[in-house]
Each structure stands twice: as C-alpha cells, then as structure tokens.
Chain A
Amino acid sequence: QKEVEQDPGPLSVPEGAIVSLNCTYSNSAFQYFMWYRQYSRKGPELLMYTYSSGNKEDGRFTAQVDKSSKYISLFIRDSQPSDSATYLCAMIKNYGQNFVFGPGTRLSVLP
C-alpha cells in the first residue's frame, strides 16, 4: 500500500464549479501537509500548506485536514480555466525533511 493515495482523476468540470481534490495517507507520523499545482511541462508550485486539523482558506482555495481520518482535501471555488493543471498533495513527517507526494489528480476546467 502506498503511503499517500490520491483520487486518480482525470477530473473535468465546467467553469465556475466547486472542485474537491482528496488524498488519504496511512502513516500517522505525517504532520505537515501541502498542496502543489503543476502545469504541463513545468515544475510544481506550492499552493497551500497546513499543520493543524481543520480548514485553511486562501482566496478561492481551502485546504482541509482531518488527522483522525488521515484525510486531506483541497477545495477550489469558482474554478477557472487557468486552474487546469495537475494537483499534488504532499506531506512530511514531523521529524524529517523527507517529502512524500501523492500521484496527482489532473483537473480540466472547461470554459
């Protein structure tokens, strides 16, 4: 079993839709959680990071962490065609700098 699983996608939504992207993990040692966005032929870029269980909002993006269920989500409100990309969840253990990424979910927002 992989340490981090992610909804495989691909996911296609109409412009303006609310998008939900999800990851689950198996190791309770993961304490820091991040979401990266990767455009085609580019390296990933950090969207959001969080440590605590609960919600964290940044503009149209909300990151949600449920440590008891080992489940994290990224919500995108009012999705735009420019949001079309692959979204990667990532996490690191409390005691190290070894980043573990999910396999990614490819999102297409159709105008």
Chain B
Amino acid sequence: EAQVTQNPRYLITVTGKKLTVTCSQNMNHEYMSWYRQDPGLGLRQIYYSMNVEVTDKGDVPEGYKVSRKEKRNFPLILESPSPNQTSLYFCASSLYGVSNQPQHFGDGTRLSIL
C-alpha cells in the first residue's frame, strides 16, 4: 500500500530536549515536504526537498532542520524545541512536487513542548 509514515504520532517533551520526527514514503517520490498546522493559520511549509541531498526552506524554517540522505526518508529535527513549536506536523511526498500531482500526506504527528 502506498503510504507516508510518520513517527511518532504523539509526543510530549520538554523545552531544549532534541527530538526527531521520522518520515518515510514507499512510492519512490522525489519531492518531500514538512508542514505544521496551527488553528487559524492552516498548513505552513517548513522545509521541502526536491531530491536526495536537495533541500530548501519553506515559509517557517526557523528552529527546524531536515536532511535527505535517502530518497524514502525525510526526518524533521528540532535541535532545541521550544513551546512555540507545539503543533500538528505533517510530512508529504509527491512525484515531482508540482500542482497536478497529489501530495500524499502522512497522518500527522502531534507535538507538545512543555
């Protein structure tokens, strides 16, 4: 089954404790992206990757890092999480990252930073 898998689905942690949210897709997609979703603000793009070793900032990259060492994986790293990063996070992938190709989204990771 074609899917985007995020882990963990839920995480409660404390300020400053480094964490990584993993994202993996099994569709051989070149384009992958991370979003955060907050009430009233909708989905905002954090980082995206056009292919292995090619990443670029979205609209809200501050406080986040990503890496794309393999095509299937695109982890999101919070080096020193802060409470303003409490949010619902989605990873997505698509074949080439253009509008007529659907982005397949994972089911989300709810992060709470205390």
Contacts and interface: CB of A to CB of B under 8 A. Distances in A.
Interface string B79-104: 00000000000101000011110111
Contacts, number: 68
Contact of A97 (B43, B48, B105, B108): B48
B42 A102 contact: yes
Given A43-B92, A97-B31, A6 B42 contact: yes
Interface string B32-63: 01010000111111001010000010110000
Interface in A52-111: 88, 90-92, 97-104
A10 B107 CA distance: 23
Given A42-B107, A43-B107, A97 B42 contact: no
- A6, A46, A49, A90 interface centre (most CB from chain B within 10 Å): A46
What secondary structure prevails in chain A residues at the interface with B? strand
A100 B42 CA distance: 9
A33 interface: yes
Given A32-B99, A99-B33, A100-B45, A41 B107 contact: yes
A43 B108 contact: yes
22 contacts: A32-B98, A43-B4, A43-B92, A44-B43, A44-B90, A44-B103, A44-B105, A45-B105, A46-B102, A49-B100, A51-B99, A88-B42, A91-B99, A92-B98, A92-B99, A97-B31, A97-B50, A97-B56, A97-B97, A98-B58, A100-B59, A102-B42
Given A44-B43, A90-B43, 12 more contacts: A33-B99, A43-B4, A44-B103, A45-B105, A92-B98, A97-B31, A98-B58, A100-B59, A101-B35, A101-B43, A101-B44, A103-B42
Interface of B: 4, 31, 33, 35, 40-45, 48, 50, 56, 58-59, 90, 92, 97-100, 102-108
Report, nearest first, the 4 A-B pairs whose CB atoms are least far apart. A43-B105, A32-B99, A46-B102, A103-B42
Interface of A: 4, 6, 8, 32-34, 41-46, 49, 51, 88, 90-92, 97-104
